[in-house]
Amino acid sequence: MNRVTIIGGGLAGSEAAWQLAERNCRVRLIDMKPHKFSPVHSRTDLAELVCSNSFRSNDRHSAIGLLKEEMRRCNSLIVKIADDTAVPAGKALAVDRDLFSEQITGSLEQHSLIEITREEIITIPPESSSYTIIATGPLTSEPLAESLADLTGRDRLAFYDAIAPIVYAESLDMEIIYSKSRYEDGPGDYLNCPMDKDTYLRFIEELAAAACVPLKSFEDVKYFEGCLPIEVIRSRGDDTLRFGPMKPVGLEDPKTGRTPYAVVQLRKENIQGTTSTATPLSAPRNFCGRPCSSSPDPTFSLPGNYQEWRDISNQLPWDYWLELTRPVSHQANLQSSPHRKQLSGL
Ligand SMILES: Cc1cc2nc3c(=O)[nH]c(=O)nc-3n(C[C@H](O)[C@H](O)[C@H](O)COP(=O)(O)OP(=O)(O)OC[C@H]3O[C@@H](n4cnc5c(N)ncnc54)[C@H](O)[C@@H]3O)c2cc1C
């Protein structure tokens, strides 16, 4: 029986381990947690979601929905558990992140062909070792990232990513906030915090004045255009946010019948609905403190009186990506390297 070593028990490594084991292949799945955590990982479970709890559209008529359906038919562990731990999110597939990781870890631990080891791998295993899948993700630990850069022959590409804040449901004022999906395209799973013009202008003014997570002297600011921090979007113009992630179209306030000037949408984080993600507010700004208008902290006045924020937003992760100069086969093997190592997450 073949044996495969998988380094990294995130989403990619967990799915790979499951698929191989289900095909009667022995797997050794290695993750450095809990001995070492990346700047954004904090749970000991595998398949930890570090940012959004949404896997986006579940609609089979969209490419991403179709991909999920194909994965379902291929016995995907990730998609099965996502279905089992789904939280209401309109047409999107969003999950209770704690249950999701817990159940994936449980399924992998119970599989007779999967052995889970908790250890940091610091160099690419030698060629003589078993087949290896490297699935250490965008926050690969530094020594292994160095080793990978040596192997692939080029420096890493890197950019800053943003994390959305999570708010406690009990701190929301439902007199102001209303449930609705955009264009009524779903049962109204999102909570909408409406802003009138004055509130929005105050919001972007406070945003411009809020403290940033300090960068280290050697850090070069590069952002991923697909996931920009909120203050970078704001810096592109006063209206950019309200025509972008805070756009109000299709979200008329049922209490007034009017379309707000801008909206912050919240999506449930867990099945009980005790926490929600403020999806448009992804930011490396320093959100520490209590962001309500009476707070002396340099934070924002938002409608709905949010009182508590989980402090994952006080972080500015730095994602690594590899720029490959050596040819990679259609199976993502490094071809001209003595190593025939599988890369994942390309
Ligand atoms: C801050 C942030 C926000 C993101 N937001 C989104 C989003 O909203 N939507 C989205 O689709 N994607 C997002 N991503 C990308 C997201 O990380 C990936 O979609 C997904 O997690 C990648 O899965 P993965 O298995 O490749 O890596 P991960 O899920 O990161 O898993 C990698 C695993 O490898 C382990 N590991 C790392 N180095 C070593 C080592 N040397 N030895 C042993 N174990 C190691 C880690 O502990 C971790 O468990 C975000 C990433 C970050 C960092």
Its domain, for residue 193, covers 166-313
Per-residue pLDDT, 270:
77
Contacts (Cβ under 8 Å, ≥6 apart) of 236: none
CA–CA distance, 297 with 132 (Å, rounded to integer): 48
- Which pTM was predicted? 0.71
Q: What pairing do the DSSP bridges indicate for beta strands 275-278 and 166-168? A: antiparallel
Predicted local confidence at residue 208, as pLDDT: 82
Specify if 36 maps to a domain: yes
Instruction: Check whether residue 176 and residue 108 sit in a common domain.
Output: no
Please indicate, yes or no, if residue 71 is contained in any of the structural domains.
Answer: no
**174 is a domain residue:** yes
Same domain, 210 and 329: no
Q: Which atom of ligand 1 is nearest to the CA of 12?
A: 25
Query: Total domain count for the chain?
Result: 2
Question: Could you tell me if the CB of 10 is within 6 A of ligand 1?
Answer: yes
Distance 262 CA to ligand 1 centre (A): 32
Would you say the CB of residue 30 lies under 6 angstroms from ligand 1?
yes
Q: Indicate whether 229 and 286 sit together in one domain.
A: yes
Distance CA 152, CA 144 (A): 12
pLDDT given at position 90: 83
Domain presence at residue 35:
yes
Dmax of the chain from CA atoms? 69
Give 335's contacts (C-beta < 8 A, 6+ positions apart): 326, 327, 328, 329
Q: Looking at residue 296, what is its pLDDT?
A: 30
Is residue 61 domain-resident? no
Q: Which of 32, 78, 147, 341 for a ligand 1 pocket mutation test, highest count of atoms within 8 Å of Cβ?
A: 32
Judge if the beta carbon of residue 228 lies within 6 A of ligand 1: no
User: Is the Cβ atom of 276 under 6 angstroms away from ligand 1?
Assistant: no
Cα dihedral value 223, 227, 232, 238, nearest 10: 150
Going residue by residue through the chain (346 aa), what tens digit of pLDDT does each one get?
578 999 999 999 999 999 999 999 999 999 999 999 987 888 999 999 987 888 989 999 999 999 999 999 999 999 999 999 999 888 889 999 999 999 999 999 999 999 999 999 999 887 666 789 999 988 889 899 888 877 776 665 565 666 677 777 777 778 888 888 888 777 778 888 888 898 889 888 877 887 766 665 655 677 777 777 788 888 999 999 999 989 999 999 998 899 999 998 888 877 777 666 766 665 544 333 233 333 333 334 455 544 333 333 334 444 555 555 555 555 555 555 555 455 554 4
Residues in the chain: 346
Domain identity same for 125 and 239: no
327, part of any domain: yes
Q: So what's the pLDDT on residue 301?
A: 45
CA torsion, ordered 307, 312, 314, 316, to nearest 10 deg: -150
Q: Cβ(32) to ligand 1 under 6 A?
A: yes
Cβ of residue 121 lying under 6 Å from some atom of ligand 1: yes
Identity at 341, one-letter amino acid code: K
**Which tokens is 139 given?**
């926050």
Q: What is the 137 CA–ligand 1 centroid distance (Å)? A: 4
Query: 266 - beta bridge partners?
Result: 191, 278
Atom from ligand 1 closest to the CA of residue 120:
42
What are the φ and ψ backbone dihedral angles of 158, each rounded to 5 degrees?
-150, 150
- Both 225 and 262 in one domain: the answer is yes
Tokens matching residue 285: 């700004």
CA–CA distance, 168 with 179 (Å, rounded to integer): 16
Same domain, 176 and 276: yes
Two structure tokens written together for 233: 């979007």
Residue 338 lies in a domain: yes
The verdict on 37 and 130 lying in the same domain is: yes
**Rg of the chain taking only CA atoms, in angstroms:** 22
Q: In whole angstroms, what is the distance from residue 156 CA to residue 323 CA?
A: 6
Q: Answer whether residue 68 is part of any domain.
A: no
Choose among 177, 154, 174, 175: nearest CA to 321: 154
* Ligand 1 centre distance from Cα of residue 318 (Å): 11
Q: Report the first-to-last Cα separation within the chain, whole angstroms.
A: 28
What is the three-class DSSP state of 183?
A: helix
